Amino acid sequence: MRAGFRREAPEDRRRQLAEAALRCIVRHGNAGVSARQIAMEAGVTQGLITHHFGEINELVAHAFDMMSDGMLDTVMTAVDSALPEPKARLEAFVENSFSPALFDRDVLGVWVVFWGLILHSPRMSASQKGEYTAYVVTVEKLITDYAEAEGCAIASPRLAAIGFTALMDGLWLAWCLNPEAFQPEEGIRIGKNWIEGLRLGAFA
């Protein structure tokens, strides 16, 4: 006897499959990017991936977009619930970037897989360009608001935002690869020191 199955709306199924893919990637890294494994994790058969995504790379790209949007939302929701002063918002950004929800080896593990794909897949690269731009623009706004409130000059807010983003990503990477390297609180301290450099005019 054949087992029955539930029929679901395409958007729901696509989300379920993407979430299953993320769990597989967390568990096995690059080796987790496998149509068979993902389908089993989602409790469906492999054919469903072909049906909804065509090729598996499209499924992974969808998971990337979902996760990318989710992470920026998470940190910005926290920023928006902080005090409205620009300094408080910028510091909330730092503190939340180092919160356990994001400063997490499993999360980085997923991103490392994405990075590898971005370098070799035009489809993934296209997604990344959009996500990165959105991220930097958001950071730039936080920085210019802060600079205006503190009355400090910034020659290129864009470069400051790129640098600050790079610092946060680099700390995330370094800590996840080797959590013994420094404490999360030390990461927050480094981020705030960077802000202090900005205030002192390092980017003027």
Partner DNA sequence: AGAGAAATTATACGATCATATAATTTCTCT
Partner DNA sequence: AGAGAAATTATATGATCGTATAATTTCTCT
36: left (phi over 0), alpha (psi -120 to 50) or beta: alpha
Task: Give whichever of 51 and 105 is closer to DNA, judged by the CB atom.
Answer: 51
Residue 194 found at the interface with a copy of itself (CB under 8 A): yes
65 binds, among DNA, a copy of itself, none (CB under 5 to 8 A by kind): none
What sign for the dihedral angle of Cα 181, 185, 190, 125?
positive
Question: What is the DSSP secondary-structure string of 166-189?
Answer: HHHHHHHHHHHH-TTS--HHHHHH
Beta strand spans in 29-183 (E): none
85 binds, among a copy of itself, DNA, none (CB under 5 to 8 A by kind): none
CA distance 163 to 10: 40
Contacts of 157 (CB under 8 A, 6+ apart): 140, 143, 144, 147
Residue found by looking up tokens 């395409």 in the block: 10
Touching DNA, residues 44-63 (CB under 7 A) = 44-52, 54-57
107 binds, among a copy of itself, DNA, none (CB under 5 to 8 A by kind): none
**Binding residues for a copy of itself, total number by CB under 8 A:** 50
Residue 112 found at the interface with a copy of itself (CB under 8 A): yes
Residues that bind a copy of itself (CB under 8 A): 28-30, 105, 108-109, 112-113, 115-120, 125, 128-129, 132, 136, 159-160, 162-163, 165-171, 173-174, 176-178, 180-182, 186, 189-190, 193-194, 196-198, 200-203
